[in-house]
Amino acid sequence: MILFEKKYDCIVVGGGHAGCEAALAAARMGASVLQLNLFLDNTGHMPCNPSIGGPAKGHLVREGSALGGEQAEAADNSAMLIRWLNTSKGPAVQALRAQCDLREYADHFLLAIESQKNLDVRQELVTDLWVEDGVVQGVRTKYGYTYAGRTVILAPGTYLAGKVYIGTESFSSGPLGQIPSLELPASLKKHGLEMERIRTDTTPRLHLDTLDLTSLQPQGSAEKPLAFSLWREGAVHEGYFCYLTRSTMETHDIIRENLFRSPLSMGWMEGAGPRYCPSIEDKVIRFPEKESHLLFLEPVSRGNKEVYIQNFSTSLPLDVQTAMVRSLPGCEGAHIIRPGYSIEYDYVNPLQLALSLEVKKISGLFCAGQINGTSGYEEAAAQGLLAGINAALKVRGEDPLILSRSEAYMGVLVDDLVTRGTKEPYRMLTSRCEHRLLLRHDNADRRLAPLGRKIGLLGDEKWNSLLARWRRIDGERERLEGTRLPPSDQLNRELAALDSAALREPALCADLLRRPRVPYSLISHFLPGREALSEDEGHALEVEIKYGGYIDRQQRQVARLEKMEEVLLPADIDYNAIQGLLAESRQKLDKVRPRTLGQAGRISGVTPADIQLLSIYLNSLRRRRPCEGTK
């Protein structure tokens, strides 16, 4: 092995969504970074549906933008259409979703990587970790090089011992057509990491010219300018559509008749598949009473005629896939360009990670993305961003950035993984977040941008633009709280159109805005003087005022819960010394090694009685060793 002449602060293994965010974050924070990617053309690759966002996922993208990440920029730069989801529901679950051009998205990340100061990129296949005395020293590659690094971030996606299944055919592979990483998983096991198997599925891709879209319902982009990024103006996108279709009883009959040819039914695959994005054969088996399932035909690029079938992932044989596809309305003459398939791969049990995403037993080694058992580009990018930040902070000798469950969806994501683990592909959902009214799309900047500024990811230009935005919103709120709007015939006609009571006497603008269905735009129209806020700023102000009572109540709940989060557990605590703990609880506490009493309470199988015993034990420790273990 040849030792490369330069030692890096951080080595990132992988060039997907997690790897790119990790490399960019660490480099932008001043660390010297080497990114090793087994195939540079796959940088920022979207092997599944090229869409970004959706409920909870869109929140992650917006939070990444507030911290100083890149995914929001890549999504906005490549969007073919974008729209709000869940608009009939409350602001906590409303989120953006964009259909992106997969090539433009990947090109954005590749250019960002190759242009970034402090960041070297190289096409190499990592085969081995270099670890001495429990501390990572670097990596070794297929081409005979050893690279030294003070920290290493593993973000290899689905490539670890990847195996693709299409009907009765199976072969070692990364995402279809790519080489897998076969030696690195063995190295991770050699160094004591517990590895498990998991799987994900994808759908057939169709040729646009073989589809009849005239009978299908189109779904276009929003008519108003929208963007994920906090740092750019929204855009209106035209010319591209998704089309709604449905499976039929004929589709379901074809699936049932061929289940014996499914690798899943034959028991060939070890790993669990995605619960919240099941294959079409899973849906037919689990919901036999349903006559059809909603599907979407979605474009993947401006530069080709490939169409993705959303909600139609499958691993059945190609001839069966052809029959299934041609049973769908609008697809009777469809030609399949790429078959659907399942891919099974190794992942690291995330219970072995700290909240910083650092491996507990190997100092300086971080894991991010699908190697931690997650699914989705957004979940991967969020973990990559946090891992890159924490690797750079470790090099600086500073404490890691750990986001709480009440601060960010990112905090919920990481806490779920390292506290509860996962046996199936983990997907971020709004229902996983107990404080989701506090973690909205519209306030991601308030929650996280100060942290991005503190660690060095937000420069003066971005920070000053945020300060100006906050001054405008805060100033307008002060004006609404102190200004009364007199009744008028025109105002009352507008209120009547909204099924809102007429004004009989002057009313505070803020009180008027608290009424259901009354928007900020209506009030600003009747207020003289100051220029109205932008639509995005007005929406943020409207949510703050209209839902203020609910927000205050949730903040009080968080304050009560945070008392348990403030109780730190000693790193060397001996759970066997605590009398009365259930054997299962003792085992799980020792494996997870929670950081706080609150985190201990979220471990599956640990009971409230266990937490009470643990609290009593900590109090006894305090009496013997004053203040140790608590803030």
What digits encode the pLDDT tens for the residues 393-449?
999 999 999 999 999 999 999 999 999 999 999 999 999 999 999 999 999 999 999
Q: How many residues does the chain have?
A: 631
pLDDT at 43: 96
CA distances from 84 to 95, 137, 215, 581 (A): 6, 46, 25, 48
Q: How far is CA 420 from the centre of its chain?
A: 17
pLDDT at 624: 73
Model pLDDT for residues 11-58, shown as the tens digit of each residue: 999 999 999 999 999 999 999 999 999 999 999 999 999 999 999 999
Question: Strand pairing partners for 297?
Answer: 243, 309
Give the other-Cβ count within 10 Å of 371's Cβ: 30
Q: Identity (one letter) of the amino acid at 362? A: I
CA distances from 151 to 7, 126, 129, 362, 387 (A): 11, 15, 11, 10, 10
Q: How far apart are CA 5 and CA 34, in angstroms?
A: 13
Model pLDDT for residues 336-363, shown as the tens digit of each residue: 999 999 999 999 999 999 999 999 999 9
631 pLDDT tier (thresholds 50, 70, 90): very low
DSSP one-letter code for 4: P
Q: How far apart are CA 87 and CA 491, in angstroms?
A: 25
Range 205-219 average pLDDT: 96
Q: Going by C-beta distance under 8 Å and a sequence separation of 6 or more, which residues neighbour residue 502?
A: 487, 492, 495, 496
For residue 188, pLDDT beyond 90: yes
195: left (phi over 0), alpha (psi -120 to 50) or beta: beta
Burial (0-12, 13-18, 19+ Cβ within 10 Å), 563: exposed
Domain with CATH 1.10.150.570 in the chain: 566-624
* Structure token pair of residue 265: 């039914």
Burial (0-12, 13-18, 19+ Cβ within 10 Å), 385: buried
Model pLDDT for residues 108-145, shown as the tens digit of each residue: 999 999 999 999 999 999 999 999 999 999 999 999 99
Domain with CATH 3.50.50.60 in the chain: 2-199+345-455
For residue 501, pLDDT beyond 80: yes
pLDDT at 96: 97
Burial (0-12, 13-18, 19+ Cβ within 10 Å), 297: buried
For residue 217, pLDDT beyond 80: yes
Within a 13 Å sphere around the CA of 483, how many CA atoms are in the beta-carbon half? Answer: 16
For 85-124, b/e burial (b = at least 16 CB within 10 A) is: bbeeeebbbbbbbbbbbbbbbbbbbbebbeebebbbbeeb
Q: Going by C-beta distance under 8 Å and a sequence separation of 6 or more, which residues neighbour residue 467?
A: none
Give the other-Cβ count within 10 Å of 439's Cβ: 27
CATH architecture of the domain formed by 566-624: Orthogonal Bundle (1.10)
CA distances from 196 to 304, 344, 367, 516 (A): 37, 10, 15, 50
Residue 265 and residue 284 in contact, taking contact as beta carbons nearer than 8 Å? no
For residue 629, pLDDT beyond 80: no
Q: How far is CA 153 from the centre of its chain?
A: 18
Q: How far apart are CA 136 and CA 125, in angstroms?
A: 18
- The pLDDT > 90 percentage for the chain reads 85
pLDDT at 630: 46
CATH of 205-341, one of 2.40.30.260, 3.40.190.10, 2.70.70.10, 3.20.20.140: 2.40.30.260
What is the average pLDDT score of the chain?
A: 94
CATH architecture of the domain formed by 475-553: Orthogonal Bundle (1.10)
pLDDT at 266: 78
Question: Strand pairing partners for 359?
Answer: 353
DSSP one-letter code for 226: B
584 pLDDT tier (thresholds 50, 70, 90): confident
Residue 56 and residue 428 in contact, taking contact as beta carbons nearer than 8 Å? yes
DSSP structure string for 427-465: ---GGG-TTTTTS-GGGHHHHHHHHHHHHT-S-HHHHHH
Q: How many helices (H) and strands (E) does the chain have?
A: 20, 23
- The pLDDT > 70 percentage for the chain reads 99
pLDDT at 547: 95
Position of tokens 């970034």?
116
The CATH number that domain 2-199+345-455 falls under is 3.50.50.60
For residue 283, pLDDT beyond 50: yes
Q: How far apart are CA 251 and CA 463, in angstroms?
A: 53
Q: How far is CA 240 from the centre of its chain?
A: 25
Residue 315 and residue 342 in contact, taking contact as beta carbons nearer than 8 Å? yes
Question: Which contiguous run of DSSP H or E holds residue 2?
Answer: strand 2-3
Model pLDDT for residues 438-469, shown as the tens digit of each residue: 999 999 999 999 999 999 999 999 999 999 99
pLDDT at 625: 65
pLDDT at 626: 56
Domain with CATH 1.10.10.1800 in the chain: 475-553
Give the other-Cβ count within 10 Å of 627's Cβ: 8
Please give the angle made by the CA atoms of 38, 43 and 44, to the nearest 5 degrees.
Answer: 135
Question: Strand pairing partners for 344?
Answer: 163, 199
Question: Strand pairing partners for 145?
Answer: 2
Q: How far apart are CA 95 and CA 77, in angstroms?
A: 18
State the sign of the Cα–Cα–Cα–Cα dihedral 599, 392, 448, 58.
Answer: negative
Q: Going by C-beta distance under 8 Å and a sequence separation of 6 or more, which residues neighbour residue 578?
A: 586, 613, 614, 617
Closest CA to 156 of 198, 116, 185: 185
pLDDT at 532: 82
Give the other-Cβ count within 10 Å of 628's Cβ: 11
Residue 297 DSSP SS3: strand
Closest CA to 14 of 125, 111, 135: 125
